[in-house]
Each structure stands twice: as structure tokens, then as C-alpha cells.
Structure 1
Amino acid sequence: MDSRREPQDLVPRPLRVAAALSWRFLVLVAALYVVGTVTGYLAGIVVPVAIALLLAALLVPGVDDLAGRGVPRGLAAALVLIGGLVILGGVLTFVVVTFVNGVPGLVTQLSHSVETASDWLTNGPLHLSDTQIRDASAKFVATLTENQSDITSGALTTAATVGEILTQMLLVLFTLIFFLYDGARIWQFLIRAVPTRVRTRVDVAGRRGLAALVSYVRATAAVAVVDAVGIGIGLAALGVPLAIPLAALVFLGAFIPIIGAVVAGSIAILIALVANGVVAGLVVAGIVIAVMQLESHVLQPLLLGRAVKLHPLAVVLAIAGGLLTGGIAGALLSVPLLAVLNSGIRSLLSEADEHVDPADVHASEPEESAPDEPGLDVEKGPMG
């Protein structure tokens, strides 16, 4: 027996395994860091393209339906896009006009609330004097005056970004047109970079991911409509100012799961509290909580259950990571990205998808063939 031993044999096996995992983990972290850095540097392009992809996921079923009825795809894409823009423009115009008309009433009610609060501070348990209240108001005004330059520079910065926003909106529109009209050929061009032996599997996985994205966007839009209508009716019934703009804010906020609806609902509660008093604020809080419970325990499992089965913890962590790395845009795009990755990876690992013809996977149908596996997806939960 040879007494000589190789150097690697002198290292305990657990240490060798730990070292192998460690350097692979470091390489993965470095790769993710490089990808994140490049993505952040190109955020002005990446974010509009990602938003265009979300909008395409919402509109492409309509284009496919018209194309299936014999309408040329270019004309179908134009009709769906123009119809969507008309609806969006009409809704935004209605919301803006309602907001402008409702501001005077809100100011009047706010003045009344300030007078009521001042009366409570003077005659209530605090027994503050008029002099103390005036001094506090004077300090507040002085603070605003001292920071006027910062406020002005911030306004100028905001005005400077208007051009960037308009440019990105045009990029979203331009990209969306080609996604609707030529999305299939764009995808076929992209997967040419994949090795031939696994190209079919990647094609199927990508189509599964797109199917999950389509189902996610459509189901989220339906949930957002229910949230906005429920809270909007409650606000209108209580006579809260700006009920329709607040309902529109709830609709937009619902596209950021969990956090968005909570923030939008909190704004509605605050306005009701300031404009209509404590009782109205509590009633609105009850309405918001009831709608959130309906969303969490009925709408999310019913509508999103088949589309995307993500654990609530995964959703919250994805949103938190998106907020830290990309702000509001990151929070908006994090959950759809997680849904696409979850569906695509499950398809790659699924033996049932190994012999599936990519032509049989359609973007408008939900994912069905990938098996349920432990990890991010669960059968039941507050989010479905």
C-alpha cells in the first residue's frame, strides 16, 4: 500500500465541499453584481422595455384574438393599441378633471378641520393659548421659508426630469408596437443564441414564463379593478373629496402587490380623516381593511392561483429588494420578474415539458404542465 497521499486528500471532505460551494457562490454573486450594475446603468432603457413587456402581456391576447378572426396582425396590433390609448387617455382626463374640480372643496373642508383642531387645542384637555398656537404656526412658516431654496431646486430638478419621462414614454410606446406586432419573431431571434441541443427546452420554458406573465397581468388588473371600485364606492358614499382620483390611485397601487394597495388605502384614510373627521376616517379604514381581506383571501387565490403560485414571503422579499435596488420601478417589476423566473425554471425542471412542442404553448394560456414543487410556490396562502 502506497503511504504517500495526494495533497487534496489531506483536506477533510467537509472543508473541500464548503470551499467548492464558496467559490461557486462568490462567482455567482459577482455575476449578479455585474448584471445589476449594467442594468442600473441602462435603467433608462431597461425599465421602459420591461414596462412595454408588461403592457404587451396585457394586450397581446386581444391581438391574438383579432388575428385569429382573420384580421391582419399589423392592423390588429394597431386597433388594440389605439383602443388602449383611447381608454387610458379618457380615464386620465376624467381623473384629472375630477381632481381639479375637487380641490376647492378639499381646501374648504381642510380649513374647517384646521379650525376645529385649533379649537380643540385651545378648549380641549391641552388648554393651549392662542399665542402658543400662533408661535407654532410661525415656526412652521419660518421652516418652509428657510428651506425655500431646497424646495425650489427640487422643483427645478423635477421639471428637468419631465423631458426624460416623455422620452421613456415614447420608448415604451415604440417598443410596445413591435412586441405586439412582431413578438414571436423577436423571441425566435433571441433563442438563436441558445445551444441547439437545449433550444427547444428553453423555447418551451420561455413561452411558459410569458404565459405566466400574461395570466399575472390580467389577474392583477382584475384585482385592481375590484379594489378601486370597492374603495371608491365607500369614499363616494361617505362624501370624501377626490373619491374618484383616490380610487384611481388604489387601482394603480394594486399593481404592486401587498404594499401598493396598503399605501394607496392609507392615503385615502388620511384624506378622509382630515376632510371629514375621525368617524369618517375610521369608516374608510374599515372599508380598506375589508377590501384588502377580500383581495387576500378570495380574489388573489381565485384569480392568481392558477397564474402564479408565489408564497407571500417571496412576494414581500421581492418587493423589498426591488424597492432597494430600483425604487418604485423595481417594486413594480420585481413580482412579475419573479413569476416569470418561477414558471420558466419549473418548466426547465419538468420532465413533462421535455417533449412539448413550443408551438403548442400559447402566451394567452396559463401554465398547467409544470408540476407543483416545493419552494416559492404553494397551494394555499393569503396570496394564493
Structure 2
Amino acid sequence: MTEQNPPHVPEHARTPAPELENVEDAAVELPLGMRVAAAWSWRLIVVGVAVAALLWLIVQVRIIVIPVIIAILFTALLHPIVAAFERRGWPRELGVVTALVTFVASVTLLITLIVTQLRRGLGDVTMRSTQAWDDFLHWLETAFGVSAAQVNGYIDQFMHTIDEHQSEIWTGALAITTTAGQVITGSLLALFSLIFLLIDGKRIWYWVLGFLPARAHAPADAAGVAGWASVGQYVRVQIFVAFVDAVGIGVGAAILGVPLAVPIAILVFLGSFIPFLGAITTGALAVFVALVYNGPITAIIMFGIVILVNQVEGHVLQPLVMGNAVSVHPLGVVLAVSAGALLAGIPGALFAVPLAAAASAIVNTLNERRWDPDRDPVAEYLKRQKVHRLAKHRARRAARIEPRGGTA
């Protein structure tokens, strides 16, 4: 019987079996999806803790933060006036004074129009509102058998509930208590911040950048400039949107013969700086005045005008004008305003969109790396300032020496 050769065994089959501990390691190794999820999870937790700490710090110093943010928004609005003076070679201080005078004159005009118009018609509005309420109670009693005493009891109970929860309603995370001292302090801080930002905003910005490492100067400067440009575009576009809302509702009220059309339009203009919510709230005032003075038919027509104006804002102005200028989707605007109002009340709703616009521009700039890594903007600015101071010193020195040379 001939001896047969053993069957050929492949090389990989002849390798020794793995050790037991290696088998156990392979058995407990997490899938790739779990490892990626875990890596993202702890990073998101760290980011969330950092954001929570930042929000906590802002809440603690809210009496400083809110006036400074207001000053930044007004600086973005008035800075083009100062820049126009600089482009023409005129003194920067003259541009700052012109911008401040324009701002104060505009605010004074709006307040004067509101006060004078409301003073003329407020007493009549109160009297007609009382009469309309009595008529409404009489209609309820006639149509549904509900007495005026029952309705007043429900209203008293509702007002009592509001009084019990007044602190939760009117105080948010960033809300400032309305004591006279804090209002005056906040107003003065906002005014002084506005003046210094207009006069020396670039120097303040590069002073802040100086605290960062040198390699972070270029990306931080590019991101900051992009965020600042986005905030400026938002403020200017929001003024246009508010003007359209005010003109639409004000002209509609005037055509229908609704009294107080001018103060209503001004209130709509001011309220429109809170996107989506402000124009609706102030438009409800126009509907109420139309109901009290002109009856339910005019009030229904006025309500239709308010809805039409808000639809134009929501479907035309916000997506096209605001979306193109700020690069924030209308859904993002709605969510930002809602979250801001939920977390911080009225200040949160007011500041939500510009902060979201600035954050979007900053993130896009950092993601796309839109900066020159070989330049240091802080060093360049300090060098320009040094050259500028040296030139001014030489000019003053030449001005002192020239008369002596002439007399000699």
C-alpha cells in the first residue's frame, strides 16, 4: 500500500490559535458606531457645560451685559455715519457727534409723537373702552345668560392668579428689575458704551484680541469682522422691515378712519424689532382701537390688514430680505426668538436674532478658514498706530519749529 502525502494546509490555517485574552478583547470591542457616538457625547457634554457656565456668568452680570449689547446694536446702526465722515477725510469726532445727534433726535421725535398723540386721545379711549365693555357684558347676558357679576368674578380670579405669579411672568433669566436706579444706571452705561465704541471701537477690539495667543489673532479677527458685519446688516434690514410693518398697519388704520393711527404706527415700528411677535402684539392694539371706535366690522377688516402685513413680513421680507442679508433661515429666526423669549424674556427675544446671525457668520468663517494664517492683525494694527503717532508728533514738532525759522 503506497503512502499518501498529507493534504496541503494553507498558510493562514497553520497559524496558531489566538491567546484567550485576545479573544476576550475582541469579544468586548465596541462597534464603530458606538465608539463614534461615545466620542461625540463627551465632547458635546464639555461644550454644554461651557455654554451653561457662560450663561450663568451672563445672568450674574446681566445689569452690565444688557446695556453693552444694546450699545453694540446701536453702534452697528450708527457706524456707517462715522465711516462716511472718515472716507471723506473729515474728523472722526465730528462723525461721532453727528451720529449721536441724529440718534437722539430720532428717538426724541418718536417719543414726542407718541406722547402728544396719546395724550389727546387717551381719555376718549378709556371712556369708549368702558362703554364697549358694558355693551359686551350686556350682550353676554342677553345671548348666553351669563351675568356681569360672574364675568367680573372670573376676571378678578384671573388677575389674582397673575398677581400671585407676577415674579415668574415678568422676571426672566436676563430681565432687569425695573427700579429707577437700575434703569438710570443701565441707560448711562449703554450711552457711555455707545460713545466709546463709536470713537475707539477698533482699538477696543484689538485690545481684546491681544489676550489671545498670536496664532489665534488672524482667525479670531476674521470671525469677529464677519460677525460684526452680520450684526450691522441685521440692524439695518430690521429697520426696513419695521418701517414696512408700521407703514402698512398705519396706512390701513388711517384709511379705515381708526383714530390714533400715528402712535399705532410708531408702536408697530418699535415693536417690530422683536421679530414675528412684536408686530402681532402692537397690531392687536390697532384692532382693539378699531373695535372700540368703529365697531366690529372695521375691527375685522383691521385684523385682516394686520394679518396681511405680517404675512408679507413672514413670507417675503424675512425670507428674502432678512435671509439674504443675515444668512439665517426663517425657521432659525423663529426658533431663536422662541428660545430667547423662553430663556430670557423680552431681552432674549430682542437679542436672539442678531446673536444667531453673528454666531452663524463666525462659525462659517472658521469652518471655511477665510483668513490669512501668515498675518497678525494685532501686530499690524499696533504698527500702524505707532507710525500714526510718530507722524503726528513730527507734525506738531514742525509746527512749533516753523515760526521760529520764519522770524529768524
Distance 1:127 1:299, change over 3 A: same
- Aligned-pair RMSD on alpha carbons? 3.2
Correspondence for 2:206: 188
Distance 1:6 1:86, change over 3 A: farther
Give the partner amino acid of 1:191.
L
Is 2:130 the counterpart of 1:91? no
1:135-185: CA deviations, max 9, x gaps?
A: 34764797699899979999xx99961221121011110100011111111
Contact 1:204 1:356 in 2 (8 A): no
Distance 1:15 1:216, change over 3 A: same
TM value normalised by structure 1:
0.81
Greater shift after overlay, 226-235 or 112-121? 112-121
Distance 1:51 1:311, change over 3 A: same
Correspondence for 2:34: 15
Aligned residues: 352
Give the partner amino acid of 2:254.
A
Is 2:271 the counterpart of 1:250? no
Distance 2:322 2:167 in 1: 44
Distance 1:351 1:148 in 2: 51
Distance 1:47 1:174 in 2: 13
Map 1:1-384 → 2, pairs under 5 A: 3=19, 4-5=21-22, 10-13=28-31, 14-122=33-141, 124-126=142-144, 132-133=147-148, 135-136=149-150, 139=153, 161-351=179-369, 353-354=371-372
Once the two structures are TM-superposed, the CA of residue 107 in structure 1 deviates from its matched residue by 1.9
1:5-41: CA deviations, max 9, x gaps?
A: 4997633133333322222221111111111111111
Distance 2:230 2:121 in 1: 40
Secondary structure at the counterpart of residue 75 of structure 1: helix
Distance 1:81 1:357, change over 3 A: farther
Give the partner amino acid of 2:256.
L
Distance 1:280 1:344, change over 3 A: same
Give the partner amino acid of 1:223.
V
Distance 1:295 1:255 in 2: 12
Distance 1:149 1:213 in 2: 38
Contact 1:205 1:347 in 2 (8 A): yes
1:274-312: CA deviations, max 9, x gaps?
A: 443211211111111221122233333443243112122
Once the two structures are TM-superposed, the CA of residue 121 in structure 1 deviates from its matched residue by 3.5
Gaps of 5+ in 2: 1-15, 378-408
Secondary structure at the counterpart of residue 187 of structure 2: helix
Distance 1:341 1:126 in 2: 54
Distance 1:150 1:16 in 2: 50
Distance 1:65 1:149, change over 3 A: closer
Contact 2:75 2:198 in 1 (8 A): yes
Contact 1:113 1:277 in 2 (8 A): no
Once the two structures are TM-superposed, the CA of residue 195 in structure 1 deviates from its matched residue by 2.5
Correspondence for 1:379: none
Q: Which has the larger radius of gyration?
A: 2
Distance 1:326 1:116 in 2: 39
Greater shift after overlay, 234-243 or 198-207? 234-243
Contact 1:207 1:358 in 2 (8 A): no
Once the two structures are TM-superposed, the CA of residue 187 in structure 1 deviates from its matched residue by 0.9
Gaps of 5+ in 1: 360-384
Once the two structures are TM-superposed, the CA of residue 344 in structure 1 deviates from its matched residue by 1.4
Distance 1:75 1:193, change over 3 A: same
Distance 1:273 1:356 in 2: 66
Distance 2:177 2:55 in 1: 28
Identity of counterpart residues, as a percentage? 38
Secondary structure at the counterpart of residue 307 of structure 1: helix
Distance 2:341 2:158 in 1: 29
Contact 2:76 2:231 in 1 (8 A): yes
Distance 1:315 1:323, change over 3 A: same
Distance 1:140 1:198, change over 3 A: closer
Once the two structures are TM-superposed, the CA of residue 345 in structure 1 deviates from its matched residue by 1.2
Distance 1:358 1:215, change over 3 A: farther
Once the two structures are TM-superposed, the CA of residue 238 in structure 1 deviates from its matched residue by 2.3
